Amino acid sequence: MFKLTGDVRDGFSRLANIAYDLLDLKGNVSVDVEIIDDEKMRELNFNTREVDFATDVLSFPALSEIKEFTQKNYPDDYDGLQRAVVLGEIAINEDAVARQAEEYGTGEREINYLFVHGLLHLLGYDHIEENDKKQMRALEEQILAAQDKSVVVAVVGRPNAGKSSLVNAIVGEKVSIVSPKPQTTRDRITGIYTAGNKQIVFLDTPGMFKPRSKLDEHMDKSVKSSLGGDADVVVVVLDCTKGITADDVKFIEERLKFRAPLYVVVNKTDLKGYDAIYPILEKLNPYMSGKDGRVVRDVIPTSCRTGRNIDVLINALKAECKEGGFLFPPDEYTDRPVKFMIGEIVREKALLFLQDEIPHGVGVAVMKVDEGKSPVHITADVIVDKQSHKRIVIGDDAAMIKRIGSSARRDIENLLGEQVYLELFVKVRPGWRDRQNILRDIGY
Ligand SMILES: Nc1nc2c(ncn2[C@@H]2O[C@H](COP(=O)(O)OP(=O)(O)OP(=O)(O)O)[C@@H](O)[C@H]2O)c(=O)[nH]1
Ligand SMILES: [Mg+2]
């Protein structure tokens, strides 16, 4: 990611990140921008290059070679506060922008051009040789002309395959809770990844299974609606430790009848060797070629734990992005309200710590988030089916509910970036999974 400091104008950050994406850079980089007038630019040229005139832009590269931007590769140029490798500085002459505005269209176009030109210099591009000049011009044009594109991707698969982990790994934020228990995700969760001019909107769905209660039905509906119509692309996640079943194959065959391109991810490869993974790939092989173009676009072995091939999947999905702008602001990573996210965090901790004692987990309804107070005051109901479950959730000397509360509080403080006072109440609501009004309270 590109981080900019100084006189950053609207659009610079977008352009910088389009360049970053296009040039396939890795790690965080930062650039300081300065907008100055003719007189200062003349001075700057004189002091740094011993020429006595005002250029329209000047770049001061900090690095002599460009490789992966990590703290290890650039210990002297790493800014610990920004957590980025400092590429250098760009000075842009605003008087030159004004003079050249008419010739090159608009002032905005001209200042953007100068910024991109300066940026490419910092990345080692120059225009001394005719060929280099041509390459630099072409890149500049490509960056300036890039349109925002997006794609909606439904992530589906059996419970516990790692769908939510995959979405979190790509989005880089915890948008969807994860637990070792199946049926952790109960609703469609949107996770948004934006890089440069491309935005991938993920619909993380509940694991597919046969519906029993109203909540199950709701979960099933959210998978169906994600698959039907809402998604441009479908990613099927398989758990390589479970192999590939006849049901998985049937589902994939079924999906190939639809227009949305299909990808298959074979996840958790950190847990198994090639012996276990190969038979799955072999079974999928026939679906990767075909005359009518209805094929699995790619089969990607991944690990959310080690990050293996997550970038391969991201690149494949970037290539599926279509013109037509972004669907969400580029700095958003979920469409879910804060209240819902808080409830999910509490539910995750309850799932984690209660293990198998409460087979279907609990419901969480966030009743109040008072951001006017410091610490932020939050109250939530933890909803269970039976009196006996209530006792388990509270625990001896309230140890369990305290454990859930303090672990959830830490994550919520991370989410909000503020201190939190979290109050949990355990409530018995027999059959809550089947009661519409309670489901609505919880936000399903
Ligand atoms: N070792 C390993 N564990 C993983 C990987 N991906 C996910 N897991 C674990 O698998 C479990 C299930 O992950 P989730 O992301 O909740 O799975 P899910 O498909 O969203 O599950 P449901 O929402 O219940 O359908 C969690 O304990 C994860 O930590 C992986 O690549 N390697
Ligand atoms: Mg999930």
pLDDT at residue 436, as a whole number: 64
Residue 201, both tokens: 């909107």
Closest Cα to residue 342, out of 405, 278, 262, 430?
405
Instruction: Kindly report the length of the chain.
Output: 444
Domain boundary among 145, 169, 200: 145
Residue 329 lies in a domain: no
Q: Is the pLDDT of residue 228 over 70?
A: no
Residue 332 lies in a domain: no
Q: Which of 204-213, 307-316, 381-390 has the lowest mean pLDDT?
A: 204-213
pLDDT band (50, 70, 90) for residue 431: confident
Mean pLDDT of the chain: 90
Are 363 and 435 a contacting pair, CB within 8 Å? Answer: no
- Is 158 exposed, middle or buried, given 0-12, 13-18 or 19+ CB atoms closer than 10 A? buried
Q: Is the pLDDT of residue 437 over 80?
A: no
Q: Count of domains in the chain?
A: 3
pLDDT at residue 210, as a whole number: 56
165 plus 90 within the same structural domain: no
Q: Which of 26-35, 76-85, 183-192 has the lowest mean pLDDT?
A: 183-192
Average pLDDT over residues 146-166: 94
Domain boundary among 145, 176, 202: 145
Q: Which residues contact 373 (CB under 8 A, 6 or more apart)?
A: 421
315 plus 178 within the same structural domain: yes
pLDDT at residue 398, as a whole number: 95
pLDDT at residue 438, as a whole number: 63
- Amino acid found at 157: G
Specify the 3-state DSSP secondary structure of 176. coil
CATH number at residue 134: 3.40.390.30
195 plus 277 within the same structural domain: yes
CATH number at residue 418: 3.30.300.20
260 plus 351 within the same structural domain: no
* Ligand 2 (single-atom ion) residues, CB below 5 Å: 163-164, 184-185
Specify the 3-state DSSP secondary structure of 331. coil
| Spatial separation of the C-alpha atoms in residues 415 and 173, rounded to whole Å | 9
Q: Hey, whose CA ends up nearest to atom 1 of ligand 1?
A: 268
3-state SS track over 96-142: HHHHHHCCCCCHHHHHHHHHHHHHHHHCCCCCCCHHHHHHHHHHHHH
What is the CA(220)–ligand 2 centre distance, in A?
A: 13
345 plus 425 within the same structural domain: yes
Residue 386, both tokens: 């039976």
Domain boundary among 323, 355, 377: 323
- Structural domain including 406 reads 338-442
What is the CA(268)–ligand 1 centre distance, in A?
A: 8
CATH number at residue 260: 3.40.50.300
Residues lining ligand 1, Cβ inside 6 A? 159-165, 178-180, 182-185, 206-207, 267-268, 270-271, 303-305
List the end-to-end C-alpha distance of the chain, in Å, as a whole number.
Answer: 34
Q: Is the pTM here over 0.95, yes or no?
A: no
Residue 382 lies in a domain: yes
pLDDT at residue 104, as a whole number: 77
- Is 234 exposed, middle or buried, given 0-12, 13-18 or 19+ CB atoms closer than 10 A? buried
What is the CA(204)–ligand 2 centre distance, in A?
A: 7
Residue 118 lies in a domain: yes
Residue 328 lies in a domain: no
Q: Among the atoms of ligand 1, which is closest to the Cα of residue 267? A: 31
372 plus 318 within the same structural domain: no
Are 87 and 123 a contacting pair, CB within 8 Å? Answer: yes
Residue 331 lies in a domain: no
315 plus 418 within the same structural domain: no
pLDDT tens-digit readout, 259-271: 889 999 999 999 9
Residue 333 lies in a domain: no
Average pLDDT over residues 175-200: 88
DSSP state letter for 209 = -
Average pLDDT over residues 199-211: 81
Q: Is the pLDDT of residue 298 over 60?
A: yes
pLDDT at residue 183, as a whole number: 79
Proportion of the chain above pLDDT 70, given as a percent: 92
pLDDT at residue 207, as a whole number: 82
139 plus 160 within the same structural domain: no
Q: Among the atoms of ligand 1, which is closest to the Cα of residue 168? A: 15
Residue 278 lies in a domain: yes
| Spatial separation of the C-alpha atoms in residues 352 and 405, rounded to whole Å | 12
pLDDT at residue 291, as a whole number: 66
pLDDT tens-digit readout, 121-149: 999 999 999 999 999 999 999 999 999 99
Q: Where are the beta strands (DSSP E) in 284-385?
A: 296-301, 322-323, 363-370, 376-384
Exposure b/e, 77-105, CB count within 10 A at least 16 = b: bbbeeeebbbbbbbbbbbebbeebeeeee
What is the CA(178)–ligand 2 centre distance, in A?
A: 6
pLDDT band (50, 70, 90) for residue 105: confident
Query: Which ligand lies nearest to the CA atom of residue 162 in the structure?
Result: 1
Specify the 3-state DSSP secondary structure of 414. helix
227 plus 282 within the same structural domain: yes
277 plus 159 within the same structural domain: yes
269 plus 310 within the same structural domain: yes
133 plus 201 within the same structural domain: no
The tokens 């625990």 sit on which residue? 395
